[in-house]
Amino acid sequence: MIPASKRVTPSPAYVSSKGALKSENSMHYYQFNIGDYASHTRHLNVIEDCAYRRLLDFYYLHEKPIKQHDIARQINMREHEQEVLSVLNEFFLSSEDGFVSPRANKEIEHFHSKIVQASKAGKASAERRFNERSTDVQPTNNHKPITINHKPKVESTRGSRLSPDFCLTEDWKDFCQQDRPDLNPSKVFESFKDYWIAKAGQQGVKLDWFATWRNWVRSQNQAPVNKADQVFTTVPSRFERDPALIAVEQKLKEGVPMPPEIKLALERLRK
The residue ranges of every structural domain in the chain are: 4-106, 168-221
Alpha helices in the chain (DSSP H): 34-41, 46-62, 71-74, 81-91, 102-134, 170-179, 185-198, 209-218, 243-253, 260-270
Can you give the pLDDT at residue 28?
67
Can you give the pLDDT at residue 253?
76
Smallest CA-to-CA distance from 198 within 162, 226, 144 is with 162
> Is 60 within 8 Å of 108 (Cβ atoms)?
yes
Note down pLDDT in tens along the chain; length 271 residues: 444 444 444 444 444 434 444 445 666 667 788 888 888 898 999 999 999 999 889 988 888 899 878 888 989 998 998 999 999 889 999 888 889 988 888 888 888 888 888 888 888 888 888 887 766 555 555 555 555 444 444 445 678 888 888 999 999 999 989 888 989 999 999 999 999 888 888 888 898 899 998 998 988 865 554 555 555 545 555 556 777 778 777 877 777 677 788 778 878 888 7
Residues in Cβ contact with 142 at an 8 Å cutoff, skipping those fewer than 6 apart:
none
